[in-house]
Structure 1
Amino acid sequence: MDKIKLCCFAYAGGSVAIFRDWKDYLDPRIELLPIEIAGRGKRMNEGLYKDMTAAIDDVSAIVKREIKDGPYALFGHSLGSRIVYRLAQRLAADPSVPLPQHLFFSGAGAPHIIRADKKQYALMDDAEFKQAVFHLGGTPREFFEHPELMDLFLPILKNDFRIAETAVTPEQIQPLDTDISVMLGREDDLSPEQVAGWEKHTRKTHKSYFFDGGHFFLHAAKPQMISLINTTLLGTRATPRTAYP
């Protein structure tokens, strides 16, 4: 049996480094493929995307090369979920590409529901943005304590938020022919409508799962999340390489 490739996308400001130890929990029959987007990690010297379309142009070319010889699934957290959603739409429109076996949307509400009270991070001035991101969590404290790091990191983070906040109107919804799983933090600031709204984006099955924590629950809940991924992709609870803590 071919390994299932799991292409993963990080949250705003994140890099593939956040998936470094996922192999310790994934079943050996799942091949981890973290996808680095431009402007960070090994791609630090590449220009930032001007919009979501440019991001999908880039990552779709990468993913197509990786998935040409076997089954695959897509995972994304926060910004990564937005990328996975648009990427899945792009791949579904290409008859030469097989559909993903499953889509995992983590830390994000349905893309067509924009709450009136939702903070628009990309529109904030730098001081307000830094404060808002600090309270959101997820960004290492040292970035806020060392101005030289923040000066380097801020344009990347702000651009990521701008892309992530690209809206999808209800008229643009094109339900996918792929099962989806939505992973959410119980303390994250999402409305019931944002959670339930994902069902409009697939003709197949849609399930939501809640984990302890806020927006960045994926760090503390990593063993439970990856156990769910193993079970979903393989149909059985797999034994990880490293025992869950």
Structure 2
Amino acid sequence: MPCLVRHRPAPAGPSLRLVCFPHAGGSPSFFRGWPGHLDPSVDVVAVGYPGRESRFGEPLIPTMDALVPQIVAELLAEPPVPTVLLGHSMGASVAYESLLRLEAAGADHFTRLCVSSRRLAATGPAAGTAAGVAARTDADLIAAVTALGGPHVEVWKDPDLRELFLPVIRNDYHLVDNYRRRADAPALRADVVALTGDRDPRLSVPQAEEWSAVTSGSFTTHVFEGGHFYLVPHAERVARLAAAPRGA
């Protein structure tokens, strides 16, 4: 199945494309309401990772290097218009790795990367065991997810839903726990915008500003009221900020 999902038809001759990458355990429906916050000329696309929603029957992918190529191939196949990538939490790292590959392929219409609620990953090999970071227990995973809040925290109180979603969370946390940036990764040409909540337990403002190191373009930081999922109540503001003209 394709990984790019549209919750409204693509406009004819779009002025901009906004591509949204969900968090660990997340799916394209997290961004379902975002097209309504933007001008109809903006093509809003959400990325669907394997193993959820329309891709439920597909095998989960536990590594960044295996996850990113299909996303990149589909984005390169889209008509070239100015494009912004926005990733929340795990999605920020996926968006960053996708943009590295897109720029390496010569695409110059990806103008901005918005990284939300995610610290810049360290470089080098994963720490821990020979196979990477030691696996978290199910109790560890549930505790980590519920501590962050979010729109679907009640899922973990239902035994049946918990068993349904645990494999997805286990996969995604394995992916982010073991992900490291290439030490020799080139600087991005696109502008970078770091977004965070002022009460995010996983990310301070100085940590958000570490993303300035990955680009030769401009860098800005925006702090919103809220925790790790600050963008749920601030969805319209975040969407408009991401899609704003360069220099605005």
Tell me which interval the TM-score lies in, with the shorter structure as reference length.
Answer: 0.7 to 0.9
Partner of 2:8: none
Q: Give the C-alpha shift of residue 192 in structure 1.
A: 4.8
Aligned to 1:88, which of 99, 114, 117?
Answer: 99
Aligned to 2:121, which of 99, 105, 111?
Answer: 111
**1:25 & 1:212 partners in 2: Cα distance?**
19
**1:122 & 1:160 partners in 2: Cα distance?**
14
Q: Give the C-alpha shift of residue 124 in structure 1.
A: 1.9
SS in 2 for 1:156: helix
**2:20 & 2:30 partners in 1: Cα distance?**
10
Please tell me whether residue 76 in structure 1 is matched to residue 87 in structure 2.
yes
Partner of 1:138: 150
- Structure 1 segments (4+ residues) deviating >4 Å: none
SS in 2 for 1:105: strand
Please tell me whether residue 44 in structure 1 is matched to residue 56 in structure 2.
yes
SS in 2 for 1:130: helix
**1:227 & 1:192 partners in 2: Cα distance?**
21
Q: Using the TM superposition, name which of 11-20 and 156-165 deviates more.
A: 156-165
**1:165 & 1:124 partners in 2: Cα distance?**
10
Cα pair 1:121 1:161 within 8 Å, conserved: no
Unmatched tracts of structure 2, length 5 or more: 1-12, 125-131
Q: Percent identity?
A: 30
Partner of 2:215: 202
- Listed as ranges, the matches of 1:178-197 within 5 Å are 178-188=190-200, 189-197=202-210
With over 3 angstroms needed to count, the CA separation of the structure-2 counterparts of 1:169 and 1:41, relative to structure 1, is closer
SS in 2 for 1:182: strand
Q: Give the C-alpha shift of residue 47 in structure 1.
A: 0.5
Q: Give the C-alpha shift of residue 139 in structure 1.
A: 5.5
How many residue pairs get matched?
A: 228
**1:28 & 1:84 partners in 2: Cα distance?**
24
SS in 1 for 2:183: helix
Amino acid at match of 2:116: S
Partner of 1:64: 76
Q: Give the C-alpha shift of residue 186 in structure 1.
A: 0.7
SS in 2 for 1:181: strand
Give CA-to-partner distance per residue, 1:115-159, whole Å, 9 cap, x none: xxxxx9973211222122112212624421221111110010111
Q: Give the C-alpha shift of residue 196 in structure 1.
A: 2.2
Give CA-to-partner distance per residue, 1:6-53, whole Å, 9 cap, x none: 111111111110111111111223110112111111001000113110
**1:122 & 1:227 partners in 2: Cα distance?**
39
Please tell me whether residue 19 in structure 1 is matched to residue 31 in structure 2.
yes
**1:182 & 1:125 partners in 2: Cα distance?**
31
Q: Give the C-alpha shift of residue 164 in structure 1.
A: 2.1
- Determine which structure has greater relative contact order: mean sequence separation of CA pairs < 8 Å that are 6+ residues apart, divided by chain length: 1
Unmatched tracts of structure 1, length 5 or more: 115-119, 237-245
Normalised by the length of structure 1, the TM-score is 0.85
Partner of 2:174: 162
Amino acid at match of 2:176: A
Report the aligned-residue RMSD.
2.3
Aligned to 2:242, which of 229, 236, 241?
Answer: 229
Cα pair 2:18 2:44 within 8 Å, conserved: yes
Partner of 2:129: none
**2:90 & 2:60 partners in 1: Cα distance?**
14
